[in-house]
């Protein structure tokens, strides 16, 4: 990959946020006895509870493992041709004109300041952010050792072994072949501790419903009158409109992590387009 100037490096955020559905069941802690329940039923109940809570908490929790095939973009695309650079008087270094946001700037080396400026070469690739972790990087079909790269700012994969990222990536071949390279990364957020108990409470109710037993999930009954006594029940539709279930642990978890009832995380679309290809 190119040596990228931090000033001209974009912040790609869109592109991998369109993952539909949780990639795996959430961890579960059972508040009910399931020793006599079929594993098929418990598995289905956990999956249903996971999908429900994932949606009601704004589709933000759970990790998805994705393979990416990066495509090189030259960092000099917005610069004047090499040879137009000159020494800026008093700068102590060379000046490179750069077009940034529709305006020309003189980028110099020799008078850098701050954490976002570096006068040394660095080989890095900008990934769709935020990345939770890097699982594997393969070049020519061979995995790199973990210490040969690092992840900065949850989006920048930096080469630390003194080499550069490959200039080309043959997308006609699988990443097991020579001339290819790929990045396997995890996206998403870990499920909070309370999520396991919420999944368990909701899954217990799904199990009872699957087995034809009475469950405590709100039904459509709002009042019951017998022998002159009338009992009123909360309107379950009001719970549903608020994105709640009527179950204590479940609703506490939802209210804690999605207090405003958002349906999904906010997303920012990058006008620069994707910098890498996602392998399905």
pLDDT value at 44 more than 80: yes
Higher per-residue pLDDT: 115 or 11:
115
pLDDT in tens, 162-210: 898 998 889 899 999 999 999 999 998 999 999 999 999 999 999 998 8
pLDDT at 242: 74
State the pairing for strand pair 124-126/131-139. Answer: unpaired
pLDDT in tens, 134-168: 999 999 999 999 899 999 989 889 999 989 899 88
Cβ atoms 104, 227 nearer than 8 A: no
Burial zone of 126 (CB within 10 Å; 0-12 exposed, 13-18 middle, 19+ buried) = buried
Higher per-residue pLDDT: 63 or 238:
63
Cβ atoms 52, 258 nearer than 8 A: no
Structure tokens at 65: 């493992």
* pTM metric for this prediction: 0.66
Using CA atoms, how far apart are residues 73 and 109, in angstroms rounded to an integer? 22
Mean pLDDT for the chain? 76
pLDDT in tens, 81-136: 444 344 444 444 455 566 666 676 665 554 444 455 556 677 888 888 789 999 99
- Average pLDDT for residues 24-49, to the nearest whole number? 95
């Amino acid at each position: 990959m190119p040596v990228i100037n931090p000033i001209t490096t974009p912040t790609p955020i869109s592109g991998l946020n369109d993952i539909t559905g949780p990639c795996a069941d959430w961890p579960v802690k059972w508040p009910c006895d399931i020793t006599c329940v079929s594993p098929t039923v418990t598995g289905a109940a956990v999956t249903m509870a996971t999908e429900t809570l994932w949606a009601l908490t704004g589709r933000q929790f759970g990790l998805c493992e994705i393979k990416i095939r990066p495509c090189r973009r030259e960092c000099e695309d917005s610069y004047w041709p090499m040879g137009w650079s000159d020494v800026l008087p008093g700068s102590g270094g060379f000046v490179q004109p750069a077009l940034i946001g529709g305006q020309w700037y003189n980028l110099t080396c020799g008078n850098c300041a701050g954490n976002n400026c570096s006068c040394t070469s660095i080989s890095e690739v900008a990934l769709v952010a935020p990345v939770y972790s890097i699982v594997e990087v393969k070049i020519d079909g061979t995995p790199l050792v973990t210490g040969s790269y690092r992840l900065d700012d949850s989006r920048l994969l930096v080469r630390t072994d003194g080499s550069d990222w490959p200039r080309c990536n043959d997308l006609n071949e699988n990443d097991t072949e020579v001339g290819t390279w790929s990045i396997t990364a995890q996206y998403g957020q870990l499920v909070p501790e309370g999520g396991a108990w919420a999944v368990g409470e909701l899954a217990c109710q799904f199990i009872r419903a699957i087995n034809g037993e009475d469950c405590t999930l709100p039904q459509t009954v709002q009042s019951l009158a017998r022998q002159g006594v009338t009992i009123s029940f909360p309107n379950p539709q009001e719970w549903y409109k608020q994105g709640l279930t009527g179950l204590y642990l479940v609703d506490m978890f939802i209210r804690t992590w999605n207090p405003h009832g958002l349906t999904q995380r906010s997303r920012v679309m990058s006008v620069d387009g994707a910098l890498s290809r996602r392998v399905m």
